[in-house]
Amino acid sequence: MTQVVWLKRDLRIRDHAPLFQASQLGDVLPLYILEPFLFEKEVFSTRHLTFIVESLEDLKASFDAIGLPLFVYIGDAKDIFQKIFDTYGRFCLHSHMEHGTNLTYKRDLVIKEWTLRQEVTWTEYKIFGVNRTHGFKYRLRDFHGWLKEGITPIPKDPQPFMDHQKIFKDSINDLLELDVKGSPISFFKGGESEGIKRAKAFFDQRYKKYQVYINKPSLSIHSSSLLSPYLAFGNLSIRMLHLSTQKHLKMIIDPFLKNQLEAFEKRLYWHCHFVQRIERHPELNEEAWDKKLEGVRETHQDLYDAFKEGTTGFPIVDACMRALKLRGWINFKQRAMLASFASNILLLDWRDVGDILGSYFIDYEPGIHWSQIQMQAGLNPYRHVPMYDIIKQSHMHDKEASFIYEMIPELKNISVPDVFTPWTLKHNPYIQPVIDLESQFEKSKKILYERKKQKKKMPNLFGEKL
């Protein structure tokens, strides 16, 4: 019987349980389905599509090496599964579990209903240390238990499926013909082989200042792993990455260097912790965790546009947005600052803020992204509303303004500290700020803090007692 391997955000050949298990049972039909609705309704943009295409090209080369084809289909998943069924008969379906918003969750419910009706066996495999159990709360021991399951080998001499009826007419290049919003970037190239190169560079040298530069916008680009896009699209297995980290830790003697890599290792656990949240609540991009702050924010188009384009008049904010548009990546501290500034000072709707940033983040991972957007918008009922002082942030993390000068060259003739607050100069050489920062900061803080302190019980997304 034909074994269909439904490729989603797992574009690799190593540690790929669905691929390996399928290879043990029959003819293997590896299939990537690009569903246009995800690019119409999700935050995905041209940069994500380009990364996917590059990943598929790399994966095709890997499949060629072991004698497997790679089929591509543009359209509805149920339609192509029905076509395979009608043309070649009943098949078995294999895929990794997908942990996303209601868009992919509801699509999976449709496919599940179809497989039951057609008596097609669909086996889903864990891609992360995330559990598919209603109301499950994540624990460190669950992550380690998943790690112990071991690495799945690359299939040896798999039997390829032959499409004698020529039902697959789309090619990888056809994906690039789709009309998708946004602009491409060249800083990251998709693919498992690229991810492996990045990982090697990190373990060889980059990790040595990982924790030291982690919050520095101009330096973190040289010390961070930059592996997040490769995890987000499944070019790399987080289990293999964790085991590689442990292997390198055993070889390090210097306590300082060991500390740097241990800090990285902790973030691999937190990755799965946040993904577990969206597995529990796929509506995390739509419904606030704590609803007390709902109705306070309202997206005004002029402020929305200024934030999106990096023209707010505040250098550190605009520099971060320009870097995102150029590279698709900034460090976590600056991401948090941007989300907080837009949601808590400009008072833009947190959903709109999440959509803007998600379309720029090349490493958009729904569980991590929407958990952090809600956190920075003060929607975690157990935490305060984070109000970042962006001028203080400039002094702390870009004290020589090297990042601002790099991203906003029109300010290169303004010295520190004036470059952090050019609107205070007699002749402002930069864009006039879209708000009066000091007064708006205090106004927003008062509104949000008063709402946060309310004792009134509100519905909680996670069903917890507050």
Q: Where along the chain do its domains lie?
A: 3-127, 192-280, 291-453
Residue 465 pLDDT greater than 70, yes or no: no
* pLDDT tens-digit series, residues 364-379: 999 999 999 999 999 9
Q: How far is 167 from 181, CA to CA, in rounded Å? A: 29
Can you give the pLDDT at residue 31?
Answer: 98
Who has greater pLDDT, 449 or 147? 449
Can you give the pLDDT at residue 146?
Answer: 80
Residue 137 pLDDT greater than 80, yes or no: no
* pLDDT tens-digit series, residues 320-345: 999 999 999 999 999 999 999 999 99
Can you give the pLDDT at residue 131?
Answer: 82
Report the relative pairing of strands 122-125 and 92-96 from DSSP bridges: parallel
* pLDDT tens-digit series, residues 242-301: 999 999 999 999 999 999 999 999 998 888 888 988 998 999 999 999 899 999 999 999
Can you give the pLDDT at residue 234?
Answer: 97
Are 90 and 119 spatial neighbours (Cβ–Cβ below 8 Å)? yes
Residue 143 pLDDT greater than 80, yes or no: no
Q: What is the mean pLDDT of residues 79-96?
A: 98
Output Rg (C-alpha) for the chain, integer angstroms.
23
Can you give the pLDDT at residue 13?
Answer: 98
Terminal Cα-to-Cα distance of the chain (whole angstroms): 52
Residue 133 pLDDT greater than 70, yes or no: no
Is the pTM here over 0.85, yes or no? yes
Q: Which CATH class is domain 291-453?
A: mainly alpha
Give the lowest-confidence range in 39-43, 48-52, 400-404, 457-461: 457-461
Q: Record the tokens describing residue 267, joined without a space.
A: 């973030």
How many CA atoms lie less than 13 Å away from 339 in the CB half-sphere? 28
Can you give the pLDDT at residue 456?
Answer: 62
Can you give the pLDDT at residue 136?
Answer: 53
Distances from the Cα of 463 to the Cα of 21, 290, 347, angstroms: 38, 10, 26
Containing H/E element for 368?
Answer: helix 366-376
* pLDDT tens-digit series, residues 302-317: 999 999 999 999 999 9
CATH topology for 192-280 is 1.25.40
Count of CB atoms situated within 10 Å of the CB of 412: 12
Q: pLDDT band for position 466 (50/70/90)?
A: very low
Q: Record the tokens describing residue 345, joined without a space.
A: 């000072």
Can you give the pLDDT at residue 447?
Answer: 95
Can you give the pLDDT at residue 461?
Answer: 63
Can you give the pLDDT at residue 144?
Answer: 77
Are 198 and 207 spatial neighbours (Cβ–Cβ below 8 Å)? no
Q: Which CATH class is domain 3-127?
A: alpha beta
* pLDDT tens-digit series, residues 423-432: 999 999 999 9
* pLDDT tens-digit series, residues 191-250: 999 999 999 999 999 999 999 999 999 999 999 999 999 999 999 999 999 999 999 999
Q: What's 159's DSSP letter? A: P
Q: How far is 198 from 177, CA to CA, in rounded Å? A: 29
Can you give the pLDDT at residue 197?
Answer: 98
Distances from the Cα of 286 to the Cα of 162, 202, 311, 355, angstroms: 43, 36, 27, 11
Residue type, 150: G
Can you give the pLDDT at residue 5?
Answer: 98
Can you give the pLDDT at residue 200?
Answer: 98
Can you give the pLDDT at residue 270?
Answer: 86
